[in-house]
């Protein structure tokens, strides 16, 4: 097997979308103690370090902005990366607590045209999640994770089990997948490298680490099988974003929405489905909630198209009190269908462009403001077209009709009848019951026209074919 590990070392910070131009820190709480778990570059420049107590950090940097770590949000972002990694192989394995995702790529190397081609695809992927990533490649899960921790990269992967001992032997023993107390015990015995640990007799090592520690080392070196649970995307998509402070403008919603729509589209590609309806749930500083439905005329998983529709909708939202939370919720999906290219490789047809235009107009003006010319169920020519979507009957169609109808029928004596009669007899309920027999005919000037004959035998001109 060949496991590709994607480690997200800064996810606790990136999940909160911190400012980049001022000191910011993420803190955790254990019991009554609050301490810094991650700091950004400006905070490090002010002397702040991971592990410092929160009160001491605020005393040192009064302008420090802080936020408590959100493991639930981090787990959702790990799931997002797993959805993206799904395109490169299966199975996919996740460790939300360790901010790591593994994907087994040995079975898909040929699909991408070889290992170098797969590496190029990973480096140039335009749809990759916007999180800092470290890579590791190895035949075992534990070794791939170790490689990612040292950021070995894609081009320095361990491709054979036989090479594991040589490649990781010089590394510090603190990288071993062992409990902290076991690592401290080994370090206290005067050992410093992984090779030093593995050079010890197995019996002596077992006395210090126990059966679980020996099993972890065997799994690291590929001598024992590793148990894992394959990742499967959930049935529904729901993503929440909490603002650090209330936002007053709709423009401020676009950044988190763009991020969440990107996650949604990666989820859709993983399940090979498309979405046509989803909802935005907003919560303001007074804890009032509002829901805004987003609908498309056809299913899609194009992030740019979804963002255009959402932008039109968001710009119409009136924000009275600052918003503190936004949630994107998608529950229903439809099967994906392939887009047919034309001869020149263009996938955006005029029909698609028209559909997107109508979606944007509906999002900006409301669906009630749009009218569409369509066929109605009424066979009478003057009532066979509709300008409201609610009057359109799916599957409705009529025999051929001339495009040019007169405002009002006019008496005529046709020169020649060119077709058998078509009887149209409707209007019993609205008091306009007048049976008509329609013909394709020629008038005295040899123009092809459409006429009807009434019950008394009179002919009336109703339209022209040419």
**CA-based radius of gyration for the chain:** 34
What's the CATH number where 44 sits? 3.40.1170.60
Indicate the pTM of the whole model: 0.70
Position 289 in a domain? yes
Position 226 in a domain? no
Lowest mean pLDDT among 87-96, 270-279, 287-296, 377-386: 377-386
pLDDT tens digit string along 390-408? 444 444 567 788 888 898 8
Position 64 in a domain? yes
Going 64 to 325 to 80 to 127, the CA torsion angle's sign is negative
Query: Is 81 within 8 Å of 132 (Cβ atoms)?
Result: no
- State how many domains the chain has: 4
pLDDT given for residue 135 in this prediction: 94
pLDDT given for residue 403 in this prediction: 81
Orientation angle between helical segments 303-314 and 254-271, nearest 10 degrees: 140
Pick the last residue of a domain from 295, 311, 342: 342
Position 272 in a domain? yes
Between strands 24-30 and 65-68, the pairing is parallel
Residue 181: pLDDT above 60?
yes
Query: Is 29 within 8 Å of 68 (Cβ atoms)?
Result: yes
User: Closest Cα to residue 225, out of 238, 234, 216, 235?
Assistant: 216
Q: Is residue 213 domain-shared with residue 132, that is, in the same domain?
A: yes
Position 305 in a domain? yes
Lowest mean pLDDT among 98-102, 168-172, 365-369: 365-369
Q: Is residue 94 domain-shared with residue 215, that is, in the same domain?
A: yes
Report, as an integer, the average pLDDT of 215-238.
92
Orientation angle between helical segments 202-220 and 180-188, nearest 10 degrees: 130
Q: Is residue 93 domain-shared with residue 212, that is, in the same domain?
A: yes
Q: Is residue 83 domain-shared with residue 215, that is, in the same domain?
A: yes
Q: Is residue 210 domain-shared with residue 242, that is, in the same domain?
A: no
**Angle at the Cα of 287 from the Cα atoms of 364 and 38, rounded to 5 degrees:** 95
Q: Is residue 210 domain-shared with residue 284, that is, in the same domain?
A: no
The overall average pLDDT reported for the chain is: 87
Cα separation of 462 and 452, whole Å?
Answer: 7
Q: Is residue 143 domain-shared with residue 208, that is, in the same domain?
A: yes
Q: Is residue 177 domain-shared with residue 279, that is, in the same domain?
A: no
Between strands 33-39 and 24-30, the pairing is antiparallel
* Domain with 25 in it: 17-69
Residue 429: pLDDT above 60?
yes
Q: Is residue 33 domain-shared with residue 105, that is, in the same domain?
A: no
CA distances from 380 to 413, 456, 460 (A): 22, 19, 14
Lowest mean pLDDT among 112-121, 204-213, 337-346: 337-346
Query: Is 39 within 8 Å of 137 (Cβ atoms)?
Result: no
Q: Is residue 303 domain-shared with residue 325, that is, in the same domain?
A: yes
Pick the last residue of a domain from 309, 327, 342: 342
pLDDT confidence band for 39 (50 / 70 / 90): very high
């Amino acid at each position: 097997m060949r496991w590709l590990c994607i480690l997200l070392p800064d996810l606790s910070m990136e999940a909160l979308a911190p400012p980049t131009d001022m000191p910011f820190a993420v803190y955790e709480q254990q019991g009554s103690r609050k301490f810094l778990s991650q700091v950004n570059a400006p905070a490090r420049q002010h002397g702040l370090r991971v592990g410092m107590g929160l009160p001491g950090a605020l005393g040192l940097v009064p302008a420090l902005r802080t936020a408590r770590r959100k493991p639930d949000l981090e787990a959702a972002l790990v799931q997002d990366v797993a959805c993206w990694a799904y395109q490169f192989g299966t199975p996919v394995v996740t460790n939300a607590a360790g901010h790591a995702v593994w994907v087994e790529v040995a079975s898909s190397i040929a699909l991408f045209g070889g290992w170098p081609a797969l590496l190029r695809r990973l480096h140039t992927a335009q749809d990759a999640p916007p999180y800092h990533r470290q890579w590791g490649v190895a035949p075992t899960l534990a070794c791939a994770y170790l490689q990612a921790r040292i950021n070995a990269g894609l081009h320095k992967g361990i491709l054979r089990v036989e090479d594991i001992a040589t490649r990781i032997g010089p590394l510090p023993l603190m990288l071993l997948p062992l409990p902290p107390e076991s690592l401290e015990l080994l370090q206290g015995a005067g050992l410093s490298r992984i090779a030093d640990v593995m050079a010890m007799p197995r019996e002596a090592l077992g006395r210090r680490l126990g059966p679980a520690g020996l099993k972890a080392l065997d799994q690291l070196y590929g001598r024992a099988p590793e148990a894992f649970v394959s990742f499967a995307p959930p049935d529904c998509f729901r993503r929440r974003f909490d603002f650090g402070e209330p936002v007053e403008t709709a423009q401020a919603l676009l950044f988190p929405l763009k991020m969440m729509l990107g996650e949604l589209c990666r989820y859709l590609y993983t399940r090979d489905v498309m979405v046509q309806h989803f909802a935005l749930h907003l919560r303001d500083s007074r804890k009032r909630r509002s829901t805004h439905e987003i609908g498309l005329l056809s299913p899609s998983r194009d992030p740019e198209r979804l963002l255009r529709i959402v932008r039109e909708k968001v710009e119409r939202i009136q924000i009275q009190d600052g918003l503190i939370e936004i949630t994107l919720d998608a529950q229903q999906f439809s099967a994906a269908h392939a887009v047919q290219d034309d001869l020149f490789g263009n996938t955006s047809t005029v029909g698609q462009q028209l559909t997107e235009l109508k979606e944007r107009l509906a999002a900006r003006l409301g669906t009630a403001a749009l009218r569409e010319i369509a066929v109605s169920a009424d066979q009478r020519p003057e009532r066979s077209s509709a300008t409201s979507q609610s009057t359109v009957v799916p599957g409705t169609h009529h025999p051929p009709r001339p495009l040019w109808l007169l405002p009002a029928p006019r008496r005529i004596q046709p020169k020649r009848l060119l077709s058998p009669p078509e009887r149209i007899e409707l209007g019993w309920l609205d008091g306009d019951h007048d049976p008509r027999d329609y013909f394709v005919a020629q008038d005295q000037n040899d123009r092809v026209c459409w006429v009807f004959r009434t019950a008394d035998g009179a002919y009336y001109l109703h339209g022209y074919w040419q």
